[in-house]
Amino acid sequence: MTGTGGNGWESFSFGPYGYTGGIDPISLIACRISLRFPDLSSAAGGLIEGYNSPASGFLVWHDGGFFLATNWHCLAGRHAFEQKTILSTKGALPSHVVIDLTHLGIHDREPRPLYDEACNPLWRQHPKRDTEIADLVALPLAGLPADTPALFKPGFAIDRTGDPLPVSVGEDVFVVGFPRAIGNGAWPVWKRASLASEPTQSLTLARKPDRPLRAVLVDGAFMEGLSGSLAIRKSAFPAILTEKGLIRPLWNDRDGTPFWYSLVGVYSGRALENGCGKHTSGKEEQGTDKAKAGQSDEDELAKARLGIVWKAELLLEVLRHGVRGRG
């Protein structure tokens, strides 16, 4: 896929073959991930799974290879805004990631390293991450079968950037990922939300008024584990392209006419206070004294059930111009 659709939204569809078995192709590329941490209590080393490690991601294709797209804070284990703040309550940073692709018949669940032998991150991040805050990364993936589906992969997704499905404020979007309650090997949950801010404008938080973010707000009741999910808009009906442009037929044509999609971006949680991955409890949302004390702008977003989605254009920039993270 080429281009950014003007304001950064990529539009695409899938051929009739993409719906084999009645499964939406987006469900094929979503994946559940979990982080592994060094076992510092054992002289023999080894890895342990962090209690708060489950998250989401999705497969993308770029320059002849597969990548895992997810949040920076998930793999780095640090606060997206305050990089010195470690998210783990034990002060540990993840060293490996397990990618669950068993829903595709891929049963390799070996932990993949996040760092090379010199302790440099293997993922690609935005070249201006420090200023853009862009909470998203692309981790190169080796060893996947050649026929593995992935977003932007020729022969799987069809580029529709020239005839984009528009994304407007107030419309439905879907955050497609894996809440904590969804077990290994399961298919992703499509969590419906609505676009709550103007997609062509930057997002400005009150505590950082001088740093507009290339992100949008989505309104919905989200769950833990969805950080790193792709956020998309899907046409309500299969789309037909005519000389007058993209139209919606009056019937639900199931003969292979493709749905149209737009990639809105990468979801990173309801609040930024704990690294774009915080999900408040019910009591906090009701406004207890503890929740009110030292409340941040991001806590206010969480109370309003507003989530952050980093725009698709940032993911494209990571893929095309990304740099290795710093150790």
Average pLDDT over residues 228-237: 86
Copy the structure tokens of residue 200. Answer: 């062509």
Domain chopping of the chain, boundaries: 10-324
Which sign does the torsion angle of CA 202, 205, 208, 214 carry? negative
Average pLDDT over residues 256-265: 78
Percent of the chain scoring above 90 in pLDDT: 40
Q: How much is the pLDDT for 113?
A: 94
Burial, 51: exposed, middle or buried (Cβ in 10 Å; 0-12, 13-18, 19+)?
exposed
Q: Are 319 and 60 in contact (CB under 8 A)?
A: yes
Q: Is the pLDDT of residue 9 over 50?
A: no
Q: How much is the pLDDT for 89?
A: 64
Q: Is the pLDDT of residue 91 over 70?
A: no
Copy the structure tokens of residue 321. Answer: 């111009």
Q: Nearest to residue 63, comparing CAs of 324, 316, 325? A: 316
Q: Is the pLDDT of residue 51 over 60?
A: no
Copy the structure tokens of residue 143. Answer: 């060893």
Q: Is the pLDDT of residue 189 over 70?
A: yes
Burial, 82: exposed, middle or buried (Cβ in 10 Å; 0-12, 13-18, 19+)?
exposed
Over residues 103-125, the pLDDT tens digits come to 899 988 889 999 999 989 999 99
Q: How much is the pLDDT for 2?
A: 36
Q: How much is the pLDDT for 274?
A: 37
Other Cβ atoms closer than 10 A to 127: 15
Give the separation between CA 251 and CA 255, rounded to whole angstroms: 11
pTM, rounded to two decimals:
0.83
Backbone torsions φ then ψ of 325, nearest 5 degrees: -65, 165
Provide the pLDDT confidence category of residue 90 given band limits of 50, 70 and 90. low
Copy the structure tokens of residue 133. Answer: 């805050």
Q: Nearest to residue 103, comparing CAs of 183, 179, 176, 14? A: 183
Q: Are 269 and 277 in contact (CB under 8 A)?
A: yes
Provide the pLDDT confidence category of residue 312 given band limits of 50, 70 and 90. very high
Over residues 268-280, the pLDDT tens digits come to 987 544 344 443 3
Average pLDDT over residues 249-270: 69
Q: How much is the pLDDT for 309?
A: 95
Over residues 156-187, the pLDDT tens digits come to 888 877 777 778 899 999 999 998 867 666 79
Give the separation between CA 222 and CA 308, rounded to whole angstroms: 11
